[in-house]
Every structure is written in structure tokens, then in C-alpha cells.
Structure 1
């Protein structure tokens, strides 16, 4: 069964959000790439939960993104469309992540 494997939290001040989640929850958060994007490790991989990222808020996108791991993007794209869903962004490769 496909599971949520990654989340993205958008913030007006991402550096403030990074400090908030580090200080409150003890997350390990590291800058990733040239963009305003930080990868967040929320716990040990042996524990239940998922890791994610913090980024600058983009008013043109949804405020939260959840990534679901599937065996075939094309197969699940077809399922989404067949069940009334809408593809808002084409599939893409994320180097070093997926």
C-alpha cells in the first residue's frame, strides 16, 4: 500500500521555521541546494514517522505538500485521473532524493 514518505512545510520566514522546529522538536534540519529549501529529519529511520522539508511560502502553490511513494508514477497517475483527481504538476526527477 503506498504511504506518505515526505512532507513540505511552507513558511513566510523559512529560517525562523527551521529554528522553531529544531528548538521545539529537536529535528535535524540542513540546507539543501541553492534554493531556500531545508531537509528535515524528524527522527530515527527505525521509528515510525516521515521526514520532510521546510521552504519559503509560494502564494501560487498549496501551503503543504505530502509525497506518496508508489511503485509506478504512470500507473498511479492513471488511477488518480480515473478517480476524478487532477494532476497539477507533471512527474519529475528530484536528484539525490527520489
Structure 2
């Protein structure tokens, strides 16, 4: 059964947002060594229940945190989402060394990501 494995926080000022989340919750931020400006967030000890996330500059129209669900096949799940009344806002695209991601919406317009892990993604 697919599970939420990651969350993303959009920010107009990533440095200030990092300071806020660190000072409030103690979260740790590390710059991702990838092709975009992105910080990985460690929210706690890996032995503790919960997930880690990331923070990036806000894209136009982006509001609120986005949960990402790990799926075995992006193509299969985007078809399921559409057939059940959801939408695909951003079609599948690669995240080099991580996998493929698509941004979708449920029947109420709630935005979420689906990711198919694949370290050979380019």
C-alpha cells in the first residue's frame, strides 16, 4: 500500500523559513546537492515515527505543504487518479538520482505528489 514518504514546504524566503522551523521544532536543514535550490529537512531521529521533508523556493501559485506518496508506477497511478476524478497538475518529470515525480490533485483540489523511486533517473 503506497505511503506518504516526504513533505515539501514552499517558501518565499528559504533562509528565514529554515531559521523559523529550526528554532521552533529543532529541525535540521542540509542543502541538497542536486540541480535545483533545495534543502533536505531532518525532522527527528530515524528510529522515531515520522517522515523527513524538504524546502524550496515557492513556485507561482503554490500554497501550503505538499505530501508525497511513494508509488510503484507513476503511469499506473496517474491513470488511477484521473479515472477516479482527480487531476494531474504537473506530469511526470525526473529528479536526477532520485526518481520520477508528478504533482496531482484529489477530487477536492488537495494537492499531493506521487513519486516512483529510481536512482537512475536523469
Give the alignment's Cα RMSD to 1 decimal. 1.7
SS of the residue aligned with 1:93? strand
TM-score by length of 1: 0.85
Instruction: Select the structure with the greater relative contact order (CA < 8 A; seq sep ≥ 6).
Output: 1
SS of the residue aligned with 2:69? strand
**Greater mean alpha carbon deviation, residues 10-19 or residues 24-33:** 24-33
Gaps in structure 1 of 5+ consecutive residues: none
> In proportion to residue count, which structure has more helix?
1
Name the count of aligned residue pairs.
Answer: 98
1:52-67 → structure 2 map (5 Å cutoff): 52-67=53-68
Gaps in structure 2 of 5+ consecutive residues: 100-122
Cα distance change, pair 31–68 in 1 and its aligned pair in 2 (3 A)? same
SS of the residue aligned with 2:45? coil
The Cα offsets for residues 37-89 of structure 1, whole Å up to 9 and x where unpaired, read as 21101122222111111111222334322110012111111110110011111
Q: Quick one: distance in 2 between partners of 1:96 and 1:46?
A: 25
Which residue in 2 is equivalent to 1:82?
83
The Cα offsets for residues 8-30 of structure 1, whole Å up to 9 and x where unpaired, read as 11112110111111222121211
